[in-house]
Amino acid sequence: MERSPTSPAFWRSPLRGPWFTSLLGVVLLAGITVLFVTGLLSYAAYNPDLSPVNDKTPDKGLLGFYLFPWPTDPPWLYRLTQGVHVTLGIALVPVLLAKLWSVVPRLFQLPPVRSVAHALERLSLLLLVGGVLFEFVTGVLNIQLDYVFPGSFYPLHFYGAWVFFAAFAVHVALRAPTAVRNLRRMRAGEEDGAPPPGPRAGGREGVAPPVSAEEPSLVSPDPAEPTVSRRGAVWLVGGGSLLLLGTTVGQNFDGPLRRTALLAPHGGAEPGSGPNGFQINKTAAARGISAAETSEEAWRLVVTGPSGTVRLSRAELAELPLHSAALPIACVEGWSTSDQWWRGVRLRDLAALVGHEPGTAPDVLVESLQRHGAFRRAALRANQVRDPRSLLALDVNGERLSPDHGYPARIIVPAAPGVLNTKWVARMTFGDL
Ligand SMILES: Nc1nc2c(c(=O)[nH]1)N[C@H]1C(S)=C(S)[C@@H](COP(=O)(O)O)O[C@H]1N2
Ligand SMILES: [Mo]
């Protein structure tokens, strides 16, 4: 018999079959739905409709239909949603790879197209497989390699998610009934000990009839000797996921737990110890912030609003009413810190300084001293400005901010993605964004 990949006999693993594919499929159905939802939430959390600064996807049109003002409560909201998004995404990699492996014979099936409906289904599979690989690769590259797509990661990952999810919805509608039936039969077969129905290739294979009569089965017609049992294969995939989970999840915690996050990116700088000893994303040096421009003599905060412009030195800021708030930093890359005690001037008090009545503070554009690179400015929404815990922080955990954490002053807002917490703030413009 000729053995080319287009011949079903070329694929000899006894593991392939509807049950393995269905199990992985159901896990991915749940997992990818969570990834999609937390991803959309992450996008909303960026205030992408605060033009023009935050909006990296001005052509999103209808896809922005669900955008809503990201709340400031609970303060750990983004820590949770983005921690889940990134940690789960990484943990699902083995499941995804196993799923693709389990159906790879289908890629080569002949004839490539049997009917118009089949052509459409194959096209949706192209978008499905291409889309899922694209989303996982861009996601992992973004967290590991520190934004290899400067500025364009957000639109790529966002539009890619919609293309992928549309194909995913079609795929689930077509396949979920079969997958559920396969799993039911398998369980029934196991529970009453009766042999599952269908051909028994490579052991206890519970086989539902193919979706259509012409659909080739995933079960090898000429299976090789098994090198791992079914149960073993599930443990291998599940164990791989658990290993990734165990070496990633620590990046959401401080102290020794963070060191268990072997797979987490180690960019930035070692956080060190003491009050400022928590994770740093970009150091002052990396962002070109010099001691000269942040000195007491040189640095002034420029605040602008309807009643004009105010310039304040750090000493003058420290004369204003100071407030404290315990808030985490949670980065889009999936790491977060536990609560730190920040102390500084309320954003709404700064708004009041330049003419906004209490309770009516508007959006604000925050710009840093940084001249190049990403995140040198960000826009905050009125609900964020008005929250009494939103601060222009001068101190953290009872000590002056370190240069790497944004000395002389940085933004900290409850529940906001790290990227909105601008460091080395130089200028704040209230209203008229
Ligand atoms: N000016 C400026 N502010 C910035 C950044 C930056 O690169 N430049 N990085 C942002 C990002 S992505 C995060 S996650 C937080 C990290 O704050 P930390 O380094 O103090 O932990 O700072 C934010 N503020
Ligand atoms: Mo970040």
Q: Is the pLDDT of residue 210 over 90?
A: no
Among 279, 380, 388, smallest CA distance to 326 is for: 388
Task: Specify the amino acid at residue 172.
Answer: V
Six-digit token pair at 277?
Answer: 């000893």
Q: Which fold has domain 301-430?
A: Sulfite Oxidase; Chain A, domain 2 (3.90.420)
User: What average pLDDT is seen over the chain?
Assistant: 88
The per-residue pLDDT for 204 is 42
Helix (H) or strand (E) holding 325: strand 323-327
Location of structure tokens 């964004």: 433
Q: Tell me which of 419, 424, 427 to substitute to probe ligand 1's pocket, judged by most ligand atoms within 8 Å of the beta carbon.
A: 419
Q: Which atom of ligand 1 is nearest to the CA of 369?
A: 1
User: Are 277 and 412 spatial neighbours (Cβ–Cβ below 8 Å)?
Assistant: no
Among 92, 43, 35, smallest CA distance to 248 is for: 92
Neighbours of ion ligand 2 (CB under 5 A): 331, 418-419
Centre of ligand 2 from the C-alpha of residue 417, in Å: 7
Q: 216-225, 258-267, 402-411: which range is least confident on average?
A: 258-267
* Pairing assessment for the beta strands 301-305 and 425-430 based on DSSP bridges: parallel
Centre of ligand 1 from the C-alpha of residue 290, in Å: 16
Centre of ligand 1 from the C-alpha of residue 53, in Å: 16
* Pairing assessment for the beta strands 340-346 and 301-305 based on DSSP bridges: unpaired
User: Are 54 and 379 spatial neighbours (Cβ–Cβ below 8 Å)?
Assistant: yes
User: Are 44 and 67 spatial neighbours (Cβ–Cβ below 8 Å)?
Assistant: yes
Distance CA 220, CA 410 (A): 61
Location of structure tokens 């010099």: 290
User: Are 327 and 342 spatial neighbours (Cβ–Cβ below 8 Å)?
Assistant: yes
Q: Is the pLDDT of residue 1 over 60?
A: no
C-alpha separations of 268 from 57, 151, 281 in Å? 27, 18, 5
Highest mean pLDDT, choosing among 54-58, 184-188, 277-281: 277-281
Helix (H) or strand (E) holding 396: strand 391-396
**Higher pLDDT among residues 217 and 352, named by residue:** 352
pTM of the model: 0.90
Q: Which atom of ligand 1 is nearest to the CA of 377?
A: 1
Q: Is the pLDDT of residue 67 over 80?
A: yes
pLDDT band at residue 193 using 50, 70 and 90 as cut-offs: very low
Q: Is the pLDDT of residue 196 over 80?
A: no
Distance CA 381, CA 361 (A): 9
Among 386, 273, 387, 378, smallest CA distance to 327 is for: 387
The per-residue pLDDT for 150 is 56
Length of the chain: 433
Among 37, 25, 18, smallest CA distance to 92 is for: 25
Q: 146-155, 209-218, 227-236, 331-340: which range is least confident on average?
A: 209-218
Domain ranges of the chain: 8-198+228-250, 301-430
List the strands of the sheet with 364-368, edge to edge. 308-312, 301-305, 425-430, 364-368, 377-380
